[in-house]
A and B are shown apart, each in its own frame.
Chain A
């Protein structure tokens, strides 16, 4: 039915929100994975009492609903933006405007907070597979910890890092409530566009966007499953 109703114009309408969605998801996945990697490796390689704290705290965001998180972002970034603009004014610099709460920064920040637990879990699983003696072996061969991470841990965690990235990417593509509240004016993603079309009872038009999200979500999962079978 979707195909019957679909027209070339509708595809064109999807391009911009589609690119916005992909852009947001790529940023969110990359930043989340990067932080997860640092926190998980910190937990692994530091042996003080509080080494698990950062990774545990970063996982809390998963329990917060998108809407609540978005409100929290607004409540934090709004005053911060005001402060930045006041400073700029007092220093005689041009006011930057709502650089935190009025741009995609807030959305990406919310995504990173919300999806850290997913990336942490996946990368932790990968790190647990690496024998503890491999943390020490580079040291015993005269190589410092940081270089050891690049030479040993990162190559061994390659697939976990990629899986974490993909999972966050798929989640970020689908996320609606946070984007709906935090998006800048005239900024649409696939999910917000579908939401609007569906609210307007334009169910058939909305379906095309919905299918694109499903396809974006499915492709990496199919790829993952294939890879798993191979290994």
Chain B
């Protein structure tokens, strides 16, 4: 399979500050990649570097195996054939929707340009809005115009900067599915930036979790959420809560009971034996026992679509105690109520370091 975009050891320095370092990833034609990470982790910089708006200071970007962009050949943004959808859509306010979509077709003759614009307008259900101006459109419509405009010059790849952040939460999911289907039908390769993990799971085929200018993990959303390679990845994707755990080879101790058959690599290497690590506990790994051996107390009750949301703290106040373990249940419990928790046996995920609280 050929790579449509191949990024190798890309680095970006701005005003002597390293913004991106050692970024490598590759996508095949038709892949949709979600770049996620906390604010300021460099995801928008990576997008702007691929588009050519920011100069790379090291590394290489290869687009469609033909265009090699490196320090000796910094291709100008207008020659990269990379489409961009800006966070604020950047529609030209003085041009109609038809003129906006046709903006990038200035090299084509009028007839070809008109037919392509008409085709895109019907594909994105914009035909009736052709003669309107951007300010007369809703956020969702503006975004569709921005997508049509970016697709018109038939780019190799399109980049989307937080594409759904300005959309009404109610419409967001619908629009995400619609746009994903469109990109898939065109076999268009896309990279989008988001800080919302739900968007990754709905919209992306691949995910790259970034932190401090580096890619921590790159893979399919399912793989990354099942096997996060660091606490930052698990923490950013909010895969569960963290509780302290003391490792003893094959078994481990927590404030709410012992774990057996611990096959976690970290625990078995011996280097961290008997030291305190962090265990990721997903809500589905918690079982409430019907006995008297209470070990946690409820200190927050909330309501969500998955049922009641509870946050509990451990009754045991040793070096393994915890204050924020989250779980969901359809059963009603009272604030301050004490329960007996057990962690169901599963592939335990333990990391040396816990997220700062």
Q: In the assembly, what is the distance between CA of A136 and CA of B77, in Å? A: 9
Complex interface bits, B118-153 against A, C-beta within 8 A gives 1, otherwise 0: 000000000000000000000000000000011011
Asked whether A131 lies within 8 Å of B149 as measured between CB atoms, the reply is: no
| Contact pick for A140, options B84, B93, B106, B107, CB 8 Å | B84
Q: In the assembly, what is the distance between CA of A143 and CA of B76, in Å? A: 10
Q: Distance in Å from the Cβ of A88 to the closest Cβ of chain B? A: 45
| Contact pick for A137, options B82, B84, B106, CB 8 Å | B84
Q: A142-B104, A143-B106 are in contact. Are A137 and B92 (CB under 8 A)?
A: yes
Asked whether B78 lies within 8 Å of A144 as measured between CB atoms, the reply is: yes
Q: In the assembly, what is the distance between CA of A151 and CA of B52, in Å? A: 21
Q: Distance in Å from the Cβ of B176 to the closest Cβ of chain A? A: 21
Asked whether B94 lies within 8 Å of A137 as measured between CB atoms, the reply is: no
Interface residues contributed by chain A, number (CB under 8 Å): 17
Q: A140-B150, A143-B78 are in contact. Are A133 and B94 (CB under 8 A)?
A: no
Complex interface bits, A135-161 against B, C-beta within 8 A gives 1, otherwise 0: 011111111100100011001100000
The listed residue with most A CB atoms (<10 A of its CB), out of B78, B84, B87, B150, is B78
Complex interface bits, B82-115 against A, C-beta within 8 A gives 1, otherwise 0: 1110111110111000000001101100000000
Asked whether B90 lies within 8 Å of A141 as measured between CB atoms, the reply is: no
Q: In the assembly, what is the distance between CA of A143 and CA of B125, in Å? A: 26
The yes or no answer to A53 lying at the interface (CB within 8 A) is: no
Asked whether B77 lies within 8 Å of A140 as measured between CB atoms, the reply is: yes
Q: A142-B78, A142-B81, A144-B78 are in contact. Are A137 and B86 (CB under 8 A)?
A: yes
Closest to A144 in B: B78
Closest to A147 in B: B106
Q: A134-B92, A156-B93 are in contact. Are A139 and B149 (CB under 8 A)?
A: no
Asked whether A141 lies within 8 Å of B86 as measured between CB atoms, the reply is: no
**Which chain B residues lie closer than 8 Å to A137 at the CB level?**
84, 86, 90, 92
Query: Looking at chain B's contact residues, is the secondary structure mostly helix, strand, loop, or mixed?
Result: loop
Closest to B53 in A: A136
Q: Distance in Å from the Cβ of B37 to the closest Cβ of chain A? A: 21
Q: In the assembly, what is the distance between CA of A140 and CA of B89, in Å? A: 12
Closest to B89 in A: A133
Q: In the assembly, what is the distance between CA of A17 and CA of B94, in Å? A: 41
The yes or no answer to B46 lying at the interface (CB within 8 A) is: no
Asked whether A142 lies within 8 Å of B86 as measured between CB atoms, the reply is: no
Contact residues of B between 224 and 263, Cβ < 8 Å to A: none
The yes or no answer to B190 lying at the interface (CB within 8 A) is: no
**Which chain A residues lie closer than 8 Å to B149 at the CB level?**
141
Q: A133-B87, A136-B53, A136-B84 are in contact. Are A141 and B104 (CB under 8 A)?
A: yes
Asked whether B92 lies within 8 Å of A152 as measured between CB atoms, the reply is: yes
**Which chain A residues lie closer than 8 Å to B83 at the CB level?**
140-141
Closest to A156 in B: B94
Q: In the assembly, what is the distance between CA of A143 and CA of B149, in Å? A: 13
Contact residues of A between 158 and 186, Cβ < 8 Å to B: none
**Which chain A residues lie closer than 8 Å to B79 at the CB level?**
142
Q: In the assembly, what is the distance between CA of A51 and CA of B247, in Å? A: 59
Asked whether A139 lies within 8 Å of B53 as measured between CB atoms, the reply is: yes
Q: Distance in Å from the Cβ of B34 to the closest Cβ of chain A? A: 20
* 6 other A-B residue contacts (CB within 8 Å) besides A133-B89, A136-B77, A143-B104: A131-B90, A134-B92, A139-B53, A140-B82, A140-B84, A141-B153
A sample of 6 inter-chain contacts (CB < 8 A) reads: A134-B92, A136-B86, A137-B92, A139-B76, A140-B150, A141-B104
The 9 nearest A-B residue pairs measured at CB: A141-B104, A133-B90, A140-B84, A133-B86, A137-B90, A139-B77, A139-B78, A155-B94, A142-B78
